[in-house]
Amino acid sequence: MAHNRTSLGSKWKAKPAGLPLYKEKPLAVSHKRNKIVMLFKGFLVSLVLYLGFYVVTNRKSTTSWSSRQEEVRQVFLESWNSYRNHGWGTDVYHPITEKGENMGPKPLGWMIVDSLDTLALMDLPDQLKQAREWIKTDLNYHFDYEVNVFETTIRMLGGLLSAHHLTKDDLYLDRAVDLANALIGGFESPSGLPYSSVNLETGKGVKNHVDNGASSTAEVSTLQLEFKYLAKLTGEAMFWEKAEKIMEILDNNKPQDGLVPIYVHPDTGKYQGSLIRLGSRGDSYYEYLLKQHLQTKEQVYWDMYRESVAGVQKHLVRKTAKSGLTFIGELEHGIGGPLSPKMDHLVCFYGGLLAVGATNGLTYQEAKKQPFWNEERESHFKLGEELTYTCYRMYKDVPTGLSPEIVVFNEEDNGQADFFIKPLDRHNLQRPETVESLFYLYRLTGDNKYREYGYEIFQSFVKHTKVTNNQGEVSYTSLADVTQIPPRKRDNLESFWFAETLKYLYLLFDETNKIPLDQYVFNTEAHPFPVFDPEPFTTGWRRQFTKVGQEKQKETHKISNKKPPQAAPANKPLEEQEKEVVKENPEIKSPPKESEEMFNILE
């Protein structure tokens, strides 16, 4: 503004005589008056410039996020067109060699079905129509092939159910029922826990070919949103009961402090090993505790979720020495053993989960006004913010701006960086977990920094994962090493690039609040389901132990934050467990009688 005043002031200098007075400033004007007029004009110019800057800046801000959302849409289309032109209908696509292949003798719709709701949300009717036609004419699940129950449920069943909800097209629901009937045989084990795989034609469950036949904990406990929503849509109780039975079996193990080992055996229903982590094979167990509560408001899952968060805070959360970054480690030998500072990128889902769990999907400011808000929820939200920032730094602090699959954090004050990356962990599969949490945190806080973080990550994906063929067609692929520039590429595009990563980025930049978080819950593959009243279905089981008074409380925050519910030791007879727990914890009693209204029992 000083420069403008000088320019304006220069006009007051005397000019040669001879001009009419109205064209010439009089030489006798007082200095005081000159100064007042000059200041007034300077003020007017400043005001005009400020208002112009304000209008332009705000217009630019609105336009910027819309244009950035369109950038994401275009990247999706580039990837999609490459797949459509060179690998259409196949389950696996290699964008560098431009080849597609199926995982079995016939296609499962791995790419197409997983992408349906993204096509709908991005308003791509032509592409959605083509995908629907392929599903109508080419997709069936009646052939001799073993599929992973978990992956097929979250991607295929979840994708079909979400597409049905968003489009109201019954074709997708019909295919979902066909698939569910093929998968349900995998639940027929001695314990009721699903086998790792199932034969689509025979319906026979197949044990895991490694790990002594054990299933991963995450896999058996990440089927519930899908099968319970299908039960609601069809009225078929079997889908609901099978899904609920799994949770009863797992909780009857009474894991200490809500934390569970990552393997469980379908023959016995018992956990195997002692490794506890929120990364691979463990992650979505914790995710679906909360999301089952959000989906149907069943109290038991909120209780289990709260216990698990308390356990995470107590046993797994640490900070780096250099920057104080919050991370979640692993207990290789269970509770009581040393903490490993290793963290999978998969754990980055947890920041967003904590935030949406704390607020019930309301904005942070709205949630703080609700009767349920308390110190515990505040601590959950803050931990979610801190962890999400750490995950952003896992991108920002790497040469390519893209996170590796795994990092090891540094707790020692030795002058070293906050984390390091082992040679075998340097790959990037275009995973969604960090942008997922950024999406949640932006929706809940309205803070544009989360959008900016997301756009930085998006730009890094575009810059380093893009591949272009000889005809100028563009696609995107996974990376072998994010620490090198240019990075070495892997010739593979995962379906979650379409289903999750680009969807969450698109929604992060959205201005219309698509998929409100208090009305929807995303499954672990980013397929949105609406929340619903579970009637006529009910939880169908009750926990073996409960805190005094919990059966009557209406709000979960009434449980003491200072002393969370304790868990009974595992692998002992039930009666012995009851005696030990009651003796050590006077405030804990045996479950209420069936006449007490703590849990609804399925009739």
Q: Any idea where the domains of the chain sit in the sequence? A: 65-530
Q: Is the dihedral of CA 392, 393, 398, 401 positive or negative?
A: positive
The token pair at 218 is 């995450």
pLDDT digits (tens, 9 = 90+) for 162-213: 999 999 999 999 999 999 999 999 999 999 999 999 999 999 999 999 898 9
Q: Phi/psi at 147 (nearest 5 deg)?
A: -120, 150
Q: Is the pLDDT of residue 142 over 90?
A: yes
- Distances, alpha carbon 294 to alpha carbons 217, 379, 591, in Å: 21, 19, 24
Q: Is the pLDDT of residue 280 over 60?
A: yes
pLDDT digits (tens, 9 = 90+) for 53-107: 444 444 444 549 999 999 999 999 999 999 999 999 999 999 999 999 999 999 9
Per DSSP (E only), the strands in 441-596 are: 466-468, 474-476, 520-522, 528-530, 546-547, 588-589
Phi-psi region of 511 (alpha: psi -120 to 50; beta: other; left: phi over 0): alpha
Question: How much is the average pLDDT of 220-245?
Answer: 98
> Does 433 qualify as catalytic in the annotation?
yes
> Does 174 qualify as catalytic in the annotation?
no
* Cα gap 211→148, rounded to integer Å: 15
Name the catalytic one among 151, 236, 411, 473: 151
The rounded Cα 188 to chain-centroid distance in angstroms is 30
The pLDDT assigned to 544 comes to: 85
* Cα gap 383→260, rounded to integer Å: 20
DSSP string, 41-69: HHHHHHHHHHHHHHHHHHHHHHHHHHHHH
The pLDDT assigned to 576 comes to: 47
DSSP string, 244-271: HHHHHHHHHT--GGG---SEE-TTT--E
The token pair at 245 is 């039975």
Q: Is the pLDDT of residue 551 over 50?
A: no
Q: Is the pLDDT of residue 594 over 60?
A: no
> Does 78 qualify as catalytic in the annotation?
no
Name the catalytic one among 257, 405, 481, 525: 405
pLDDT above 90 coverage of the chain, percent: 78
pLDDT digits (tens, 9 = 90+) for 3-51: 443 333 333 333 343 433 333 333 344 455 555 555 556 666 555 455 5
- Distances, alpha carbon 381 to alpha carbons 354, 469, 494, in Å: 6, 45, 31
User: Is 524 assigned a ligand-binding role in the annotation?
Assistant: yes
> Does 405 qualify as catalytic in the annotation?
yes
Q: At what angle do helices 299-315 and 283-296 cross, to 10 degrees?
A: 150
The pLDDT assigned to 454 comes to: 99
- Structural class in CATH, domain 65-530: mainly alpha
Q: What angle do CA 342, 343, 346 make, to 5 degrees?
A: 155
The pLDDT assigned to 529 comes to: 99
Question: How much is the average pLDDT of 394-411?
Answer: 98
* Residue 312 near residue 245 (C-beta atoms within 8 A): no
The pLDDT assigned to 540 comes to: 87
